[in-house]
Structure 1
Amino acid sequence: MFKLNLLQKNRTFRYGVPMLLLIVGGSFGLREFTQIRYDSQKIRRKLDPSLEAKVDVERQKVILEEEYEKIKVVNLDEWKNIRGPRPWEDSRDYQEQQRSGQNKEH
């Protein structure tokens, strides 16, 4: 009984041990909750097998040489970099201004 009273008055035992238990227990609890999150995302991400087959076929169709031939045809000498509108600018007005600026130059 005497030792129990001493432990209750000890600051390390009274505040430190519960804090350590909270930190260690919390990390294990968070691990379980995040695992549930990732498992649910994995389930949602699964595609219908027929749709997945179509996606895989489209991925296989891309051949490096074919893409190179497409890029060779493009005229890069007349290419102009046009920046997009800033958040505070009206995007439609800015796009019209850019388009009219392009038409005047050509």
Structure 2
Amino acid sequence: MFILKFLKKNKTVKYGVPMLLLVVGGSFGLREFTQIRYDAQKIRKRLDPSLEAKVNVEKQSVMLEEEYEKLRRINLDEWKNIRGPRPWEDSREYQEQQRSRPSKTD
């Protein structure tokens, strides 16, 4: 009986132990909740098996030499830089205007 009264009056037992349980228990609880989040993301990221097979085949078949040849065939001398529209401008109208305008180097 004396020990029970002593423990009720002790500030460490009254405030410290519940706080310690809250911190340690919260840590374990948060770990479980975050694990649920990451498990859900893994499930969402899974692809359809047929689509995944196509993606893997495409990744393996790309050769550096083939990509270099594709880039070599493109005529970069005729390329023209067209600025994108600002938020207050009509994008299609502005892009048509930029395409029809002669370049500054002509």
Q: How high is the TM-score relative to the length of structure 2?
A: 0.72
The alignment's C-alpha RMSD in Å is 2.5
Q: Summarize the alignment of residues 15-94 of structure 1 with structure 2, pairs less than 5 Å apart.
A: 15-72=15-72, 73-75=74-76, 78-80=79-81, 82-83=83-84, 85=86, 89-90=87-88, 93-94=90-91
Measured in 1, the distance between the counterparts of 2:77 and 2:31 equals: 51
Question: What is the number of equivalent residue pairs in this alignment?
Answer: 102
User: Tell me, what secondary structure is at the counterpart of 1:27?
Assistant: helix
Ranked by relative contact order (alpha carbons within 8 Å, sequence separation 6 or more), the top structure is 2
The residue that corresponds to 2:14 in the other structure is 14
Q: Identity of aligned pairs, percent?
A: 57
Measured in 2, the distance between the counterparts of 1:18 and 1:43 equals: 37
* 1:39 alignment partner AA: D
Q: How high is the TM-score relative to the length of structure 1?
A: 0.72
**Structure 1 unmatched ranges of 5 or more:** none
Measured in 2, the distance between the counterparts of 1:2 and 1:84 equals: 81
Distance 1:3 1:97, change over 3 A: same
Of Structure 1 and Structure 2, which has the larger fraction of its residues in helix? 1
**Structure 2 unmatched ranges of 5 or more:** none
More displaced 10-residue stretch of structure 1: 62-71 or 26-35:
62-71
User: Tell me, what secondary structure is at the counterpart of 1:105?
Assistant: coil
For the 8 Å contact 2:84–2:91, the answer to whether it is kept is no
Distance 1:6 1:84, change over 3 A: farther
Q: Tell me the CA shift for residue 16 of structure 1.
A: 1.9
